[in-house]
């Protein structure tokens, strides 16, 4: 089975959905999807083009983490703070799309039981570390891309708290960077890297990257290697590939594979190894 998220058109707008399907390969290196089933829908729908998110990451017990965006516009983005809404959240669900047992808001009538954490902007990067924990990177506005380790039931601040400003140059909300009962990012970028795709390096081919996070950069046009120690960022380095990086994966050979894109042009896969 494969699982994927996508922007789904709906009668009342659109939103991020998650589907499962069986991949049936053919003799030409391609294939088709069979038994496709939508297992989860981000609600409410919104008639907009921006900030769908999204990434999927499986935890060590088979739990599926789903990240989504808050749809960008001032009207819907405030729902990132509303635990009755599915905008600007990370979810933890089963492979059937049900709330994972033990989720923080199960049993509350004012909350979605699938929610794991909230107060997020536009989450396009997620991975599981060597201890089985979820890490994410989300787009900030003009400044303020954030690395977080989302924990159960915690509030990560958006749009009340941010290290970025509006694209117009105006402050977001009250223009504050901290607020009681909201979490600070582990790390943030200003200027932004525009994150998209993320992997935890546990291979052996590039030993100096062991335990690091590898983050695709759209604006950075490369792979951002974030070296960690005691859950804090020790240092970072940037590997330029000369193109927007949409996703990063670690292959079974220990090499790093970066998927690039160009506006109006072809996508490529770049293989990174030790030099």
Of 157, 150, 10, residue with least CA distance to 70: 157
Task: Decide if 227 is catalytic.
Answer: no
- CA-to-CA distance for 205 and 68, rounded, in angstroms? 33
CA distances in angstroms from 23 to 16, 18, 28, 32, 36, listed in the order given: 21, 16, 14, 6, 9
Which token pair is 4? 């994927």
Of 129, 149, 146, 128, residue with least CA distance to 137: 146
The residues near 52 (Cβ < 8 Å, ≥ 6 apart) are 7, 14, 15, 16, 68, 69, 71
- CA-to-CA distance for 249 and 136, rounded, in angstroms? 15
List, edge to edge, every strand of the sheet that includes 134-139.
Answer: 122-128, 134-139, 145-148, 187-189
Which of the residues are catalytic? 51
């Amino acid at each position: 089975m494969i699982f994927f998220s996508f922007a789904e058109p709906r009668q009342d707008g659109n939103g991020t959905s998650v589907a499962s399907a069986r991949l049936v390969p053919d003799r030409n290196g391609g294939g088709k999807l069979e038994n496709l089933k939508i297992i989860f829908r981000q609600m409410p729908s919104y008639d907009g083009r921006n900030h769908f998110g999204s990434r999927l990451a499986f935890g060590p017990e088979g739990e599926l983490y789903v990240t989504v965006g808050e749809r960008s516009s001032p009207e819907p983005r405030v729902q990132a703070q509303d635990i009755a809404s599915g905008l600007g959240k990370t979810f933890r669900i089963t492979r059937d799309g049900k709330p994972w047992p033990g989720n923080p808001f199960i049993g509350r009538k004012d909350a979605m039981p699938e929610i794991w954490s909230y107060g997020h902007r536009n989450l396009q990067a997620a991975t599981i570390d060597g201890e089985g924990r979820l890490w994410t990177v989300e787009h900030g506005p003009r400044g303020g891309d954030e690395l977080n380790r989302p924990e159960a039931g915690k509030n990560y601040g958006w749009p009340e708290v941010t290290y970025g400003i509006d694209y117009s140059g105006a402050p977001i909300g009250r223009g504050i960077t901290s607020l009681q009962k909201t979490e600070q990012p582990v790390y943030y970028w200003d200027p932004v890297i525009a994150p998209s795709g993320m992997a935890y390096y546990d291979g052996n081919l590039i030993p100096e990257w062991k335990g690091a996070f590898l983050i695709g950069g759209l604006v950075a046009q490369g792979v951002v290697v974030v070296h960690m120690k005691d859950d804090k960022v020790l240092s970072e380095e940037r590997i330029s590939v000369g193109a927007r990086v949409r996703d990063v994966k670690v292959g079974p050979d220990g090499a790093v594979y970066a998927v690039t894109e160009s506006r109006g042009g072809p996508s490529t896969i770049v293989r990174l190894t030790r030099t």
